[in-house]
Amino acid sequence: MAVSSGRPVIGVTSYVEPVVRGDWTDQHSAVLPHGYVEHLERAGALAVVLPPRLDADDDLVSEILSRLDGVVVAGGADVEPTRYAALPHESVQDPRPDRDAFELAVARVTARTGMPLLGICRGMQVMAVAAGGTLEQHLPDRVGHTAHSPSPGVYASHHVTVVEGTRLASVLGTDVLDVPTYHHQSVATHPGYAPAAWHEDGTLEAMEDPGQPFRLGVQWHPEAGDDGRLFDALVDACRNFGQLG
């Protein structure tokens, strides 16, 4: 792990996408919404963007993570259903095998090492799949509404209720929260994780590993809002993890 002298080094997973920039068109670039970086820096961390790798395995990811104090698995496209032995729903997005390979390895390695991990939206789903869990591929089929993602390309907001006695409750309290949301899938099964927050329609909105100091997934998008408490808590956990090393 990194040597922590006050500012923990936290990696954030990212995409490789074709980007239009000035005179350049469809230039493959490592990209990430800057809100992740802003929140981490505001909380006192040094943020490092981690591009995905199709050839990622646990050994390679262990080498990468050995330079860090913690990691955020960022939001993004749907996990390929074959990763949890399912056939794809018609709504499932095109697979991103490089992100799936890399981030599933990140989830496995951090589960073994105890490195602090925050999974956001897709990141929470990656955590569940890496643990042998499954996903609900299209929420509107069950809940009968689109409140979790009503408009393409626009964050909505909805309420979540945090479970009393959880680590998440110690960070966010138990008052009903209004959170930024953009997802059409959710975690169905989550071996080893305890529910930490719910939507009123029965959708799991957060989960945590009660056996780890900080291993938490949220289905909403805190990087798109003003509430930095999750990032503050992650940075504190990463600082402690770095000092242990």
> At 239, phi and psi to the nearest 5?
-65, -40
Q: Look up 223 and say whether it is catalytic.
A: yes
Q: How far is CA 242 from CA 17, 133, 151, in A?
A: 32, 29, 41
Two tokens at 150? 């009503």
DSSP conformation letters of the chain: ----SSS-EEEEE-EEEEEEETTEEEEEEEE--HHHHHHHHHTTPEEEEE---TT--HHHHHHHHTT-SEEEE---SPPPGGGGT-PPPTTPPPP-HHHHHHHHHHHHHHHHH---EEEETHHHHHHHHHTT-EEES-THHHHSS-TTS-STT--EEEEEEEPTTSHHHHHH-SS-EEEEE--S-EEEE-TT-EEEEE-TTS-EEEEE-TTSSSEEEESS-GGGSS--HHHHHHHHHHHHHHHH-
Q: How far is CA 94 from CA 2, 80, 130, 182, in A?
A: 35, 8, 19, 17
Q: Look up 63 and say whether it is catalytic.
A: no
Which one of 80, 121, 158, 205 is the catalytic residue? 121
Q: Look up 238 and say whether it is catalytic.
A: no
Which one of 103, 136, 208, 223 is the catalytic residue? 223
Which one of 103, 205, 221, 238 is the catalytic residue? 221
Catalytic positions, please? 121, 221, 223
